[in-house]
């Protein structure tokens, strides 16, 4: 079933070329169905790349998904045009009185800074507090997951000795929990980060359930409040070439980055990377939409208290 987006969103054409059913506003208005309302707080610098990746990931269910792009107002993006942001994104102030079936908070390239030094931290705190009463389930990604765990549970991130970049093998835990239904015992997922949330602190907190982890990369996914809050420490939405783009960008800047692990065939950076995590990513987003959004959300979001 379709992803519902604005008629002239630039990535709409790319999704259609990939045979992903994208429904524009005009056609959606004539369907007698309540779409699942998803808010996407996009904190990544390349907004359009993230839009494409997330919309692609949300497209693999029978549900009609209506996506609202949300922006913070206390930070000015330097890598996406102002015209694109103001045309396709809603300021949080303009949507704070709405309710959403699901909400996604992305990563951001600020992980080496203390949370309190991030210029939009106070605004983000307000958004995370708002999700407690206005969202059925919130999915936090990478830095967004670290920020959510710090805000809600007081567990801070720590700096890694070097950037954790590449594909890492993960073990499924608590297999009976629906968010990991259909996962293989071991699966690959992308990571791209300089920090982590210590696993021992997460293990010790009874409010948090660890769902998947890695011997090398630590906790990958955990949740709280029976899925009202889900935290994914990696980037399952990344496409084939995202880690390649990051690696070559950092190389050009003279940062001497490590070669992304398990990514290039034979660690040869001139070869095309293998796409080995898409099935897992599709499963993750489909499970989230199905079990933690669609099956638990009230039909009348405004008439039923959370």
DSSP 177-241: SGGGTT--SEEEEEEEEEEE--HHHHHH-TTEEEEEEETTTEEEEEEEGGGTEEEE-S-TT--TT
Rounded Cα gap, residues 113 and 59, in angstroms: 34
Residue 252, classed as helix, strand or coil, is helix
Q: Which of 142, 191, 222, 280 is catalytic?
A: 142
3-class SS string, 21-87: CEECHHHHCCCCCCCEEEEEECCCCCHHHHHHHHHHHHCCCCCCEEEEEEECCCCCCCCCCHHHHHH
Give residue 19's region: left, alpha or beta (phi > 0; psi -120 to 50): left
**CA nearest to 220, candidates 267, 178, 186:** 186
Question: Is 142 considered catalytic here?
Answer: yes
Whether the CB-CB separation of 246 and 192 falls below 8 Å is answered with: yes
Q: Round to whole Å and give the CA distance between 173 and 16.
A: 36
Q: Is 152 a catalytic residue?
A: no
**Using an 8 Å Cβ cutoff, are 137 and 102 in contact?**
yes
State yes or no: is 191 an active-site residue: no
Nearest to 89 by CA among 121, 128, 41: 41
Catalytic residue among 152, 170, 235, 280: 235
Cβ 94 vs Cβ 130: under 8 Å? no
| Residue 97: partners with Cβ closer than 8 Å, 6 or more residues away | none
- From the candidates 48, 111, 196, 237, which is the catalytic residue? 237
Active site positions, annotated: 142, 235, 237
């Amino acid at each position: 079933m379709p992803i519902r987006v604005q008629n002239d969103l630039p990535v709409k054409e790319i999704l259609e070329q990939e045979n992903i059913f994208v429904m524009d506003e005009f056609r959606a208005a004539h369907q007698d169905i309540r779409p699942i309302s998803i808010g996407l707080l996009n904190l990544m610098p390349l907004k359009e790349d993230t839009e494409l990746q997330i919309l692609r990931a949300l497209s693999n269910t029978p549900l009609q998904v209506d996506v609202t792009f949300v922006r913070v107002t206390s930070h000015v993006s330097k890598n996406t045009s102002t015209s694109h942001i103001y045309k396709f994104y809603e300021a949080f102030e303009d949507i704070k009185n709405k309710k959403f079936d699901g909400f996604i908070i992305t990563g951001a390239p600020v992980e080496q800074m203390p949370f309190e030094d991030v210029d939009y931290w106070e605004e983000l705190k307000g958004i995370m507090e708002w999700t407690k009463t206005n969202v059925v389930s919130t999915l936090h990604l990478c830095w967004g997951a670290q920020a959510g765990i710090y805000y809600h549970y007081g567990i801070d991130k720590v700096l890694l000795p070097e950037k954790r970049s590449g594909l890492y093998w993960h073990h499924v835990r608590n297999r009976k929990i629906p968010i990991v239904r259909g996962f293989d015992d071991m699966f690959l997922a992308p990571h791209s980060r300089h920090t982590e949330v210590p696993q021992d602190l997460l293990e010790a907190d009874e409010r948090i359930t660890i769902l998947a982890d890695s011997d090398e990369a630590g906790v990958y996914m955990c949740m709280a409040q029976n899925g009202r809050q889900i935290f994914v420490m990696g980037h399952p939405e990344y496409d084939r070439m995202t880690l390649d783009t990051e690696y070559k960008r950092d190389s050009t800047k003279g940062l001497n980055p490590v070669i992304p692990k398990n990514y290039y065939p034979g660690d040869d950076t001139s070869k095309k990377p293998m796409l080995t995590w898409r099935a897992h990513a599709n499963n993750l987003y489909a499970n989230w939409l199905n079990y933690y959004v669609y099956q638990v959300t009230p039909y009348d979001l405004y008439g039923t208290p959370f």
